[in-house]
Amino acid sequence: KLIYVGKKGGDPNSTSQESIESLLLELVRKDKRIVRLKGGDPFVFGRGGEEALFLAEHGIRFEIVPGITAGIAAPAYSGIPVTHRGMAAEVTFITGHEDPTKDQQDISWKAVAELSGTVVLFMGVKTLPEISSLLIRYGKRASTPVSVIRWGSTAQQQVVSGTLASISEEVKKAKLTPPALTVIGEVNRLRSKLKWFEEKPLFGKTVLVTRARKQASQLGDWLESLGAHVLELPTIEISPIKNNSNLDRAIEKIKNYDWLVFTSENGVEAFFERLKKLKKDSRILSTVRIAAIGPGTKAKLNSYLIEPNLVPKTFTTEGLIRTLEKVKPSKKRFLLLRTNIAPDLLNRSLKKFGAEVSEIPIYKTEKPKNLIGKTREIMQNHSIDYVTFTSSSTAENFFNSLRNDRHLGAKIL
């Protein structure tokens, strides 16, 4: 069970610290095993110490798993090493949440101004003008380089650079809002040469993935490795065929076929799942040749230690047809294992070449429930740069959801 207890500065609806601690106690008393998941490191401005003390005072055993604090991670993703030979031999983490103008302060800004190394301010966007003024007043050079990092280490990362004198105005111009942290010190001068993350080819781009949920994460991980901000909107759902009698008969007579053709990873997975249920394995395929429509399907076959005999250079149904034509399919027996809504182009073409074709739906492709509402929510709340489609059904369902949305379709089509 997932329970959201996030906080947002200034939001009266944010979860209070007291209610989080009470919830932990309540769940423990119900004999639940709990993971209290936090961003960054729980003991660096994460209030993890408070929660651990609360648990200790109630005799509750716990384990601390250290994380990587945003004070190190966000600068690293921005090309700013918090320490560097000849520039900074020390780094200091300070909360910027404290009002620097209040009478009684926990932080000595005069002492901070005298530090020669890097200073990292957490949660200091709103108080940045006052903090900058105080540091300059206490002797910090107005020309000291400063960077403010929003959503550090994510594809939505935004970095605003300036000096101690100019940074507040630069942040205002950029309309930068929390969550963000501020890095003060000479190490910021290295950013122009070290900003590796923002140099990724898809950094700053938002990509909508319409693939079925199971495969969406694999594609999303690859896109994120290129720097993209990935949104998932599965426009198809894959489900098993309830009646497998036709497939079972084909498996029993698999040696009667010359070619077994897979046009998706889902088909491969469904086939081998059925083999497993029937207590059979890939040895039954020793006499049949296997065709895969593309590298994804080939990779899925490889995961079952099967190397396909044929993969077209063009990864489409048309490309597969042209390649199969070259193997002289006349009078050969083909078994096509596909989705329930597969176009009949492959079937018709093979028959035209003189082949004998058996086609069996091995899994179902369906439209998800409330796709119109989910599409509307994403399109209204995000600016999309690219939309990916891995099949005709993903594209058809996506565009139909736009056309049929009275609130959104007219504005887009």
pLDDT band per the 50, 70, 90 thresholds, residue 342: confident
Nearest to 288 by CA among 264, 261, 332, 255: 255
pLDDT of 101 reads 66
Please state the rounded mean pLDDT for residues 38-43: 92
Please state the rounded mean pLDDT for residues 294-306: 94
**247: Cβ–Cβ under 8 A, 6 or more apart, which residues?**
241, 271, 274, 337, 360, 362
Nearest to 379 by CA among 402, 357, 395: 402
pLDDT of 343 reads 84
Please state the rounded mean pLDDT for residues 107-135: 94
β-strand pairing of 118-122 with 180-184? antiparallel
Q: What length is written for the chain? A: 413
Please state the rounded mean pLDDT for residues 294-307: 94
pLDDT of 412 reads 38
pLDDT band per the 50, 70, 90 thresholds, residue 413: very low
Please state the rounded mean pLDDT for residues 184-194: 97
pLDDT band per the 50, 70, 90 thresholds, residue 406: low
Q: Give whichever of 299-303, 341-345, 404-408 has the largest mean pLDDT.
A: 299-303
| Amino acid letter for position 26 | E
Both tokens assigned to 253: 């007579």
Both tokens assigned to 250: 């084909």
pLDDT band per the 50, 70, 90 thresholds, residue 13: confident
pLDDT band per the 50, 70, 90 thresholds, residue 410: very low
What span, in angstroms and rounded, lies between the C-alpha atoms of 197 and 211?
26
| pLDDT beyond 80 at 78 | yes
pLDDT of 174 reads 96
pLDDT 10s digits, 373-394: 999 999 888 989 999 998 888 9
Question: Lowest-pLDDT range, 9-18, 160-169, 185-194, 363-372?
Answer: 9-18
pLDDT of 183 reads 98
| pLDDT beyond 70 at 187 | yes
| pLDDT beyond 80 at 170 | yes
Ramachandran category for residue 232: left, alpha or beta (phi over 0 → left; psi -120 to 50 → alpha): beta
Please state the rounded mean pLDDT for residues 279-291: 94
pLDDT band per the 50, 70, 90 thresholds, residue 61: very high
pLDDT of 390 reads 85
| Amino acid letter for position 253 | K
pLDDT band per the 50, 70, 90 thresholds, residue 411: very low
pLDDT of 214 reads 75
The four Cα atoms 7, 8, 10, 16 give a dihedral, to 10 degrees, of -10
**93: Cβ–Cβ under 8 A, 6 or more apart, which residues?**
44, 45, 69, 71, 120, 122
| Pair 271, 362: CB distance under 8 Å | yes
What is the number of other CB atoms lying within 10 angstroms of the CB of residue 183? 26
pLDDT of 96 reads 87
pLDDT of 409 reads 43
pLDDT 10s digits, 310-322: 999 998 899 999 9
Both tokens assigned to 322: 């042209």
Look over the chain and give the mean of its residue pLDDT values, rounded to a whole number.
91
In whole angstroms, how far apart are CA 292 and each of 22, 280, 338, 357?
Answer: 55, 21, 12, 16
Peptide bond into 179 cis (omega under 30): yes
pLDDT of 218 reads 83
| Pair 94, 119: CB distance under 8 Å | yes
pLDDT band per the 50, 70, 90 thresholds, residue 404: confident
